[in-house]
């Protein structure tokens, strides 16, 4: 059984929180919502009130449990037999803190994974603090919280009920009911990328994804716009050789269409992505929102890259190899051997710009001996 822990203060619970819970049910069999006893700043509601509001909000979800917790989140996850900590991210401001916390949690306990869902676009501006401020100043939180939570906030501040907003619909807010699988394989995820070439960082994400999903399909994108160093066939072959020890749980395919369409074709419930740095966040954030707009039945699940792979990318690997630097331990052996053949055994016309992908023409050039030999053959 896949159990996830969703921790937070929930002061109070918003529809943004409920969205993460509902979407999490596409991936997990059970979600334990852990309401923190202690809060970083003075809470408006008591622990008991926050638990009651959350339980009221998820009452239609039989596979969601609400508990109080104190101490380290990873310890709470272990006590609840949860192999995963589920977190939501709304903006760049969330990234740094969540990145640090995810790395620390992995340092404390590698057996507990942290995964992230990007907030749906309608909740990007929604937080417990913003909701409380709005209600305190006479605004309605309709659509941002349930009507029950709205009344709890008004009561806490000693306010009369706010007038209904013009055009107000669905006064109870988020329809928190059980999410159906829509025919998708709940234990299958797709991991897309160019993989030009595959690195140990990619393999780390695949390995960690296997702790959450029964099967991972590595989807190698044709992606001619990136002018890849290796052909599609070569990249697929590298990935297959790198994951052959777990071929029973990992499939490798190629694709040339939208990622969400590829995911739908293989009946995957989730798209796996890795985040290494702030530079990744903006692009991945936009792509996750677009993918949800295209197909809401396929979730995007983010893993923070392990700290030892934070600096590793296919582009950096190629740049280092082109300068004659060793990439041993950063890529599978078959890739290292190929890069050595392409770069270090040939005569390079010029050095590849640092940290950029090798430009066309920086590949292996004919040496004088090879040129002479080809001339003789002709």
Residues designated catalytic: 202, 226, 276, 314
Short-list 327, 315, 301, 128, CA closest to 213: 301
- State phi, psi for 101 to the nearest 5 degrees: -65, -40
**How many whole angstroms separate alpha carbon 23 and alpha carbon 178?**
10
Number of Cβ within 10 Å of residue 283's Cβ equals: 9
**How many whole angstroms separate alpha carbon 87 and alpha carbon 356?**
32
Number of Cβ within 10 Å of residue 376's Cβ equals: 7
Structure tokens at 51: 């638990």
Torsion, Cα 24 27 31 33, to 10 degrees, reads: -30
Rg (CA), the chain: 25
- Is residue 180 within 8 A of residue 297, CB to CB? The reply is no
- Is residue 238 within 8 A of residue 314, CB to CB? The reply is no
Q: In what order do the strands lie in the sheet with 185-193?
A: 64-69, 30-36, 3-8, 84-89, 113-118, 299-304, 268-275, 185-193, 215-221, 250-255
């Amino acid at each position: 059984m896949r159990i996830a822990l969703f921790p937070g203060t929930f002061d109070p619970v918003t529809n943004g929180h409920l969205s993460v819970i509902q979407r999490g049910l596409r991936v997990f069999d059970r979600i334990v919502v852990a309401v923190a006893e202690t809060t970083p700043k003075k809470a408006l509601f008591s622990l008991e009130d926050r638990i009651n509001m959350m339980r009221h909000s998820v009452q239609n979800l039989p596979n969601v449990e609400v508990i109080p917790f104190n101490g380290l989140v990873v310890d709470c996850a272990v006590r609840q037999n949860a192999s995963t900590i589920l977190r939501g991210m709304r903006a760049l401001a969330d990234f740094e803190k969540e990145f640090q916390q995810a790395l620390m949690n992995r340092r404390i306990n590698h057996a507990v994974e942290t995964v992230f869902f990007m907030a749906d676009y309608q909740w990007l501006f929604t937080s417990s603090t913003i909701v409380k401020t709005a209600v305190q100043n006479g605004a309605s939180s309709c659509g941002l919280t349930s009507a029950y939570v709205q009344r709890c906030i008004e009561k806490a501040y000693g306010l009369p009920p706010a007038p209904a907003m013009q055009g107000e619909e669905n006064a109870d807010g988020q329809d928190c009911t059980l999410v159906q699988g829509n025919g998708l394989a709940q234990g299958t995820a797709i991991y897309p990328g160019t993989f030009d070439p595959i690195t140990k960082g990619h393999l780390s994400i695949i390995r960690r994804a296997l702790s959450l999903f029964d099967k991972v399909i590595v989807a190698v994108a044709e992606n001619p716009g990136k002018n890849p160093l290796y052909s599609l066939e070569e990249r697929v072959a590298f990935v297959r050789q790198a994951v052959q020890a777990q071929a029973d749980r990992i499939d490798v395919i190629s694709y040339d269409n939208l990622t969400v369409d590829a995911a739908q074709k293989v009946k995957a419930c989730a798209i796996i992505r890795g985040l290494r740095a702030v530079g990744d966040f903006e692009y991945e954030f936009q792509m996750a929102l677009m993918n949800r707009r295209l197909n809401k039945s396929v979730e995007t699940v983010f893993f923070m890259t392990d700290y030892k792979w934070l600096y590793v990318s296919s582009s950096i690997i190629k740049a280092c190899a082109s300068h004659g630097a060793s990439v041993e331990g950063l890529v599978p052996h078959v890739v290292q051997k190929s890069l050595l053949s392409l770069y270090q055994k040939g005569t390079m016309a010029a050095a590849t710009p640092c940290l950029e992908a090798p430009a066309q023409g920086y590949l292996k050039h004919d040496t004088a001996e090879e040129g002479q030999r080809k001339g003789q053959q002709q």
